[in-house]
Amino acid sequence: MRTSTLFTAALATGLLAIAVPAQAYEADWKRGRVYYRSVCTACHVANPVGGINPSARAKVEWTAYLAADKHAKGKDKVSTYLSKSYRNSVKATNKAAEKYLDVPDQELADDLKAFLNKGAKDGDAPASCS
């Protein structure tokens, strides 16, 4: 009797674990906006490229750009600029990089993507760099 009770309890626990899916990270477009405007735009404005408005591209274009992970016409990777090592390297001169230093790279990438999709020319709130 005791064995069947333990088995039933173990089975119920296992089924409950299967039924409750793992919580996926819900991207924070506001954090993505702060990072984009404070880190990405600051760098683009300091270089000959100039600022790039999120509304310069459609959602599908931003999604493809981030998926390709190519920056500066393929000379480097977008993920480099979202990495903890990059944020650490610019934290002395960039408060947003310092503020988000401990954010996991993938979360920050998801946040940036959420902001770019929201701010895209076909997004919910087309945005500029200002």
Residue 74, in any domain of the structure: yes
- Reference 103, options 73, 83, 127; nearest CA is 83
Q: Tell me if residue 127 falls in helix, strand or coil.
A: coil
The domain containing residue 85 runs over which residues? 29-119
Residue 85, in any domain of the structure: yes
Q: Give the pLDDT score at 11.
A: 44
Q: Give the pLDDT score at 91.
A: 95
- Reference 110, options 36, 58, 56; nearest CA is 36
Residue 20, in any domain of the structure: no
Residue 3, in any domain of the structure: no
**What is the identity of the amino acid at 77?**
K
Q: Give the pLDDT score at 1.
A: 53
Residue 108, in any domain of the structure: yes
Total number of domains constituting the chain: 1
pLDDT tens sequence for the chain (130 residues): 565 554 454 444 554 444 445 568 899 999 999 999 999 988 888 887 777 889 999 999 999 999 999 998 889 999 999 999 999 999 999 999 999 999 999 999 999 999 999 999 999 888 765 5
Residue 17, in any domain of the structure: no
Q: How far apart are CA 100 and CA 122, in angstroms?
A: 28
Residue 21, in any domain of the structure: no
Residue 107, in any domain of the structure: yes
Sign of CA dihedral 119, 54, 64, 83: negative
